[in-house]
């Protein structure tokens, strides 16, 4: 979805992050709140919360944010903070996802956009995309294909949430007007289907 630059903010905890430059080139306001400038997680999160409130932020979209947030911070943004993870959650939470998928011989992986909860890589699922694992994949080739899927999933999830089409009911996301694809996908595909 296209959102006017004046209603979007990009905040990073890493000075010089690539997303800051891309946002600035698009005319989007940016800020850096370096977590290393704070004595603990709580004071960092207080500064982050103050910046988000000052900008009247309504929805937080995490991307490449590789820090665990405290329960207090996550609870402040209950059902108003989303994240993307490079697996079909709840499988393969945490780091080194693609390596673990390959080690286990999984035939499909993918990505998940979800509402954030205090537990790592947990929360009601908004959008998922399945990606086939190829016999000749290594973690880099697999990561590249999953990233392509992420670039489709995140904008869709943002459109659904920001457009008011989602609601969380008993830890599941209901989406107005959405339907699931019907075909069955096999891997490997022997071509007989």
Active site (catalytic) residues: 85
3-class state of residue 9 by DSSP: strand
Contact partners, residue 12, CB within 8 Å, separation at least 6: 19, 20, 30, 31, 32, 33
DSSP string, 150-185: HHHHHHHHHHHHHTT-EEEETTEEEETT--------
Q: Where are the beta strands (DSSP E) in the chain?
A: 9-12, 29-32, 60-61, 81-85, 108-115, 125-132, 166-169, 172-175
Q: Which of 29, 27, 31 has the alpha carbon at shortest distance from 15?
A: 31
For residues 56 and 50, give the distance between their C-alpha atoms in angstroms, rounded to a whole number.
10
Cis peptide before 188 (omega within 30 of 0): yes
**Distance in angstroms between the alpha carbons of the first and the last residue of the chain:** 36
R_g (Cα) of the chain, nearest Å:
18
């Amino acid at each position: 979805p296209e959102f006017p630059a004046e209603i979007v903010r990009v905040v990073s905890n890493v000075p010089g992050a690539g997303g800051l430059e891309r946002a600035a080139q698009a005319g989007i306001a940016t800020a850096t709140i370096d977590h290393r400038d704070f004595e603990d997680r709580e004071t960092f999160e207080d500064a982050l919360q103050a910046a988000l409130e000052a900008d009247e932020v309504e929805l937080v979209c995490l991307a490449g944010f590789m820090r665990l947030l405290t329960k207090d911070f996550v609870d402040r943004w209950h059902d108003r903070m989303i994240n993307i993870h490079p697996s079909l959650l709840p499988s393969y939470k945490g780091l080194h996802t693609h390596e673990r998928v390959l080690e286990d011989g999984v035939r499909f992986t993918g990505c998940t956009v979800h509402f954030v909860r205090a537990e790592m890589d947990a929360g009601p699922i908004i959008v998922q995309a399945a990606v086939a694992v190829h016999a000749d994949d290594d973690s880099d080739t697999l990561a590249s294909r999953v990233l392509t899927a992420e670039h489709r999933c995140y904008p869709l999830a943002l459109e659904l949430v920001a457009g008011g089409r989602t609601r969380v009911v008993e830890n599941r996301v209901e989406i107005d007007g959405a339907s699931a694809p019907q075909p069955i996908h096999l891997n490997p595909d022997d071509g007989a289907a």
